[in-house]
Amino acid sequence: MSLLDEFALIRALTENRQTEAFMRSCGVVTGIGDDAAVVRVTEGRQLVMSCDAMVEDVHFRTVTMRDVDIGYKLLASNISDMAAMGAVPKFALVTLCLPRQAPVERLEAIYSGLYECACKYGVAVVGGDTTSTFGSLTLSVSIIGEVEADRALLRSSARAGDIVFVTGTPGLSAAGLHYLLRQEREASMWEPFPAGVEPLVRAHCRPEPQVEAGRLLLASGVCGALNDISDGLASELWEIAEASGLGITLRQHLIPVDRNLLDYAMTVNADPWQWILYGGEDYALVGTVRAGHAERLKETFAQAGLAFHPIGEVDGGRHGVVMIAPDGAVSVLPKKGYNHFA
């Protein structure tokens, strides 16, 4: 397909992606096609807003993600920010900065993945911006959600005695990325993957933001602090500890470890705990729940078919994050994870 001018490109990427009925059901009054979008705000709720970007050769390469996965993950990472606040994702604005010779077919694949994720999670894409760049392909999403007034879940809300939990199995995405970088596959060679590796690759390329878990935590009334695991379990726990002015103690034997991750780590002679603690991009939720309520909340999650793992507790007598090994050894977890400017 030949290159298109800006407005033809916008039409090619966005037209007929979401039906008028879908947009109306999301509260969209005026979407793509005017100077700005107009949406309805639900009475009794507050707006929750976030943005995130992905840059080629920084966040992805052709050997680590197909174009359709790039679009899906771009929006999924933004939706995960809404989940971490207990919010419902509603509207998205997409900014596309593309090299002048970028093939339209590639952009259409990216937008196909983005809209797939948007429709799956009920997000209306209501506008954005398209521009050229002399640099790498860059995509950014600004997302707007809603949460019940004055009830957003914050990372600063942990209390001494809280139980620390995680809603998924950390480390899978980092292990999947390790495999993809090691293989150096091109998109045309993407599948099939070995059975034990496929879940790791899927976790990296197609993360599932945990909106339902966030809503359950908000509805419970007993959730303290909350974060999503974008930069690594240790990093997110440090953010909660610092924001709340408290310490966190992890029990290593309670942290869920995936069998496929362990098998792959053994195959490549890697330490699986480096992925579990510091890998990032898992987009599970990690947070705290008031003492005495963890088991009841675990049952609620199980009834919804969701994972909930108590993994430690909040300590009011110190700051920082430590982990107790099965043999009783105590180690201070370094405040590290993915950091663009480290």
Domain containing residue 95: CATH number: 3.30.1330.10
Is there a single domain that holds both residue 31 and residue 112? yes
Indicate whether 104 belongs to any domain.
yes
Q: Rounded to the nearest 5°, which phi and psi values hold at 160? A: -60, 135
Is there a single domain that holds both residue 178 and residue 305? yes
Is there a single domain that holds both residue 26 and residue 100? yes
Burial class (CB in 10 A: 0-12, 13-18, 19+), 45: middle
Displacement of CA 31 from its chain's centroid (Å)? 25
Is there a single domain that holds both residue 173 and residue 134? no
Going by pLDDT thresholds of 50, 70 and 90, the confidence category of residue 2 is very low
Is there a single domain that holds both residue 188 and residue 107? no
Indicate whether 340 belongs to any domain.
no
Going by pLDDT thresholds of 50, 70 and 90, the confidence category of residue 156 is very high
Residue 114 is part of which domain span?
A: 6-148
pTM: 0.93
CA distances from 153 to 80, 90, 320 (A): 13, 17, 21
Two structure tokens written together for 331: 């180690």
Read off the amino acid at residue 43.
Answer: E
Going by pLDDT thresholds of 50, 70 and 90, the confidence category of residue 188 is low
Q: What is the pLDDT of residues 42-90, one digit of tens each?
A: 999 999 999 999 999 988 988 899 999 999 999 999 999 999 999 999 9
Is there a single domain that holds both residue 273 and residue 302? yes
pLDDT at 341: 40
Is there a single domain that holds both residue 180 and residue 134? no
- What is the arithmetic mean of pLDDT over 159-165? 98
According to DSSP, the residues that pair with 30 across neighbouring strands are 38
Read off the amino acid at residue 73.
Answer: K
Q: How far is it, in rounded angstroms, from Cα 34 to Cα 20?
A: 15
Last residue of a domain, one of 96, 125, 148: 148
Whether the CB-CB separation of 332 and 321 falls below 8 Å is answered with yes
Is there a single domain that holds both residue 323 and residue 183? yes
Q: What is the pLDDT of residues 297-311, one digit of tens each?
A: 999 999 999 999 999
Is there a single domain that holds both residue 104 and residue 174? no
Is there a single domain that holds both residue 173 and residue 85? no
Indicate whether 68 belongs to any domain.
yes
Burial class (CB in 10 A: 0-12, 13-18, 19+), 243: middle
Q: What is the pLDDT of residues 90-109, one digit of tens each?
A: 999 999 998 988 888 989 99
139 membership: H or E segment, kind and range? strand 138-148
Indicate whether 310 belongs to any domain.
yes
Angle at 105 between CA 103 and CA 106, to 5 degrees: 70
Indicate whether 107 belongs to any domain.
yes
Which segment of 21-25, 140-144, 185-189, 338-342 scores lowest on mean pLDDT?
338-342
Number of compact structural domains in the chain: 2
Two structure tokens written together for 234: 């240790």
pLDDT exceeds cutoff 80 at 10: no
Is there a single domain that holds both residue 140 and residue 172? no
Two structure tokens written together for 87: 């919010």
To which residue do tokens 């709340």 refer?
244
Percentage with pLDDT > 70 across the chain:
96
- Dihedral sign, Cα of residue 130, residue 135, residue 139, residue 141: negative
CATH number at residue 323: 3.90.650.10
Is there a single domain that holds both residue 119 and residue 254? no
